[in-house]
Amino acid sequence: MRLKSFYAKTMTEAMQLVREALGEDAIIIATREENGGKSVRVTAAIEDDMPAATARARAIAFEFGQELHGSVADEDDWLQYDDEIDENDSLAETIIDVMLSHGVPEEVLDQIVNCAEVLSVDEPSIAFVGALDSLFTYTPLPSVPYKKALMFVGTPGAGKTLVVAKQAARAVLDDLKVAVITTDVVRAGAIEQLQAFTKLLNIELKTARTAEDLKRQIASLRHMDQILIDTPGINPFATSDMTALARLIAVGDIEPVLTIAAAGDAIETGEMARIFSALGVKRMVATRLDIARRLGGLLCAAQQGGLSFADYSATTSVADGLEPLSPRKLASFFFPSGSDQKSARSEQSSQTSTSSHSRHKTTG
């Protein structure tokens, strides 16, 4: 199977592109809106003699297999092909069990399983990595000078201030000139909370009380390598909150980055991501990966908001900072490696059952 993603303004245009490139036999694996609903992405598969996406999945699988099992199996040991229906069924069931235990909603689950099934890999954890790689995008936060100011936005308590502190610490360690501005000037103790971190890093914390103020601050900090902006917690379902945030983002040369707590309800997290994407958010930082046990919300946010995975936070310690999320890293939270893996799997399969779950393939 060959996997390919297509981008277009409308679903009709995207389907047309799929047909032109892959023909009538293409199988639609996944669809999602991007850019706040202004464009769509369609991932489709077609039978192929020497599939590029499968080759990529093999490469990832090879590396991942090494980590999972401590030794590399002969290629033929872990690669199975499509006519092995039984292998594919048990692969799908294992992935479904794991995703159900993480509260992944059916729409997202179906797309991941469909994708995993066409990758011609027989180890579920590896097929899962391949599916995460094919379906989602990964754009880590910059560790070099960055032209746009990075504004961390999200719901109250999502971890925005800690992410700003962590990114600032990383920039300082990378010998970058970093400036930190906070627009969270109303909540009691908000400035002091961030100041506790910036003082340690020897950074002067700037405050911006209005959009005009923020514009001036950014203009005066143009010589810095990175400008990081903290914001107050936003209720995405309150128009007044969203309007105020949109005003801040609109002052120019700002990239809003969604900060999202990993353990939220999956469907609600997806809805929030969708709303934030309408403000121009393109990537997200996931926090509290150390506390969360159900990560369906993260997959839902990527799917519903068309968002790219940036970094993740799994500690309150600023020094331990942020790590980029890759397909492999993300998959490792669903399929713990080594000895954890067996016990996690048996625990998960005793908690969930696939028998009532139905999946659909859409042909294009």
Ligand X SMILES: Nc1nc2c(ncn2[C@@H]2O[C@H](COP(=O)(O)OP(=O)(O)OP(=O)(O)O)[C@@H](O)[C@H]2O)c(=O)[nH]1
Measured from the CB of residue 2, what is the shortest distance to Mg ion in angstroms?
Answer: 45
Binding at 157: pick from Mg ion, ligand X, none (beta carbon under 5-8 Å per type) = ligand X
Establish if 315 lies at the interface with ligand X (CB under 6 A). yes
One of 18, 229, 260, 314 touching ligand X (CB under 6 A):
314
Establish if 207 lies at the interface with Mg ion (CB under 5 A). no
Tell me the residue nearest to ligand X as measured from the CB.
Answer: 233
Contact assessment for residue 234 and residue 281, using Cβ atoms and an 8 Å cutoff = no
Contacts (CB under 6 A) with ligand X, residues 228-247: 233
One of 23, 156, 252, 338 touching ligand X (CB under 6 A):
156
Measured from the CB of residue 156, what is the shortest distance to ligand X in angstroms?
Answer: 4
Establish if 184 lies at the interface with ligand X (CB under 6 A). yes
Distance between CA atoms of residues 328 and 132, nearest Å: 8
* Tokens linked to 268: 């609600």
Contact assessment for residue 331 and residue 63, using Cβ atoms and an 8 Å cutoff = no
One of 134, 155, 161, 313 touching Mg ion (CB under 5 A):
161
Residue in the block written with tokens 């700003």: 164
Is residue 318 exposed (0-12), middle (13-18) or buried (19+ Cβ within 10 Å)?
Answer: buried
Q: How far is CA 209 from CA 32, 35, 187, 247, in A?
A: 37, 29, 12, 12
Establish if 167 lies at the interface with Mg ion (CB under 5 A). no
Measured from the CB of residue 160, what is the shortest distance to Mg ion in angstroms?
Answer: 5
Distance between CA atoms of residues 237 and 268, nearest Å: 11
Contacts (CB under 6 A) with ligand X, residues 281-310: 287-288, 290-291
Measured from the CB of residue 166, what is the shortest distance to ligand X in angstroms?
Answer: 9
User: Quick one: 111 or 161, whose CB is closer to Mg ion?
Assistant: 161
Nearest residue to 232 (alpha-carbon basis) of 247, 218, 215, 217: 247
Measured from the CB of residue 139, what is the shortest distance to Mg ion in angstroms?
Answer: 23
Which residues are bridge partners to 205 per DSSP? 180
Indicate the SS3 state at residue 260.
strand
Contact assessment for residue 174 and residue 147, using Cβ atoms and an 8 Å cutoff = no
Q: Which window, 3-11, 54-62, 182-190, 199-207, contacts ligand X (CB under 6 A)?
A: 182-190
Contact assessment for residue 305 and residue 284, using Cβ atoms and an 8 Å cutoff = yes
Neighbours of 56 (CB within 10 A): 15
Distance between CA atoms of residues 300 and 270, nearest Å: 5
Binding at 291: pick from Mg ion, ligand X, none (beta carbon under 5-8 Å per type) = ligand X
What b/e string do you get for 133-161 counting C-beta neighbours within 10 Å, with b at 16 or more?
A: bbbbbbbbbbbeebeebbbbbbbeebbbb
Measured from the CB of residue 156, what is the shortest distance to Mg ion in angstroms?
Answer: 8
Measured from the CB of residue 23, what is the shortest distance to ligand X in angstroms?
Answer: 46
Measured from the CB of residue 270, what is the shortest distance to ligand X in angstroms?
Answer: 19
* Tokens linked to 316: 């309150």
Contact assessment for residue 316 and residue 162, using Cβ atoms and an 8 Å cutoff = yes
User: Quick one: 94 or 287, whose CB is closer to ligand X?
Assistant: 287
Establish if 41 lies at the interface with ligand X (CB under 6 A). no
User: Quick one: 134 or 231, whose CB is closer to ligand X?
Assistant: 231
Binding site for ligand X (CB under 6 A): 154, 156-162, 184, 187, 190, 233, 287-288, 290-291, 313-316
Which residues bind to Mg ion, rule: CB under 5 A? 160-161
